[in-house]
Amino acid sequence: MENFLLISVLSVLTIYFYSSMNVYKSLYKKISEEKEMEKEKVKNLEKLKEKFEKQVKFSLDTINDSQESLKESREDYQELKLQNTELEHRNKLLQERINELYASVGHIS
């Protein structure tokens, strides 16, 4: 009887051990799968981060180029404006000189 009781307790413990072992194996497997999924997510996020960093760098370069172009355009505009002012002044002087010449021709006749 004692042997039977001992054998039955041992068998119950063995069954419990194997059943809990299967549960732990299953949990371990699930956790490993989730860990791999998270690693993939992290890789994807890192790729996105690199992509956005490249886009930001490209955008900054484009903005800098645009600023340089705008600066050159402003300088060219200022030069042209100065030239236009000088030409207007010369035109005014020439108009005055023409008027003087017409006036002097009118006095000669």
Read off the pTM: 0.55
pLDDT of 104 higher than 90: no
Mean local confidence (pLDDT), 52-69:
97
Query: Is the pLDDT confidence value at 71 over 90?
Result: yes
Any idea what the Cα angle at residue 7 is, between residues 6 and 9, rounded to 5°? 65
CA distances 32 to 27, 35, 36, 38, 41, Å, are 8, 5, 6, 10, 14
Q: Is the pLDDT of residue 1 over 80?
A: no
pLDDT at position 19: 78
Q: Which residue has the tokens 């299967």?
A: 22
Q: Is the pLDDT of residue 20 over 70?
A: yes
Q: Tell whether the model's pLDDT for residue 78 goes beyond 80.
A: yes
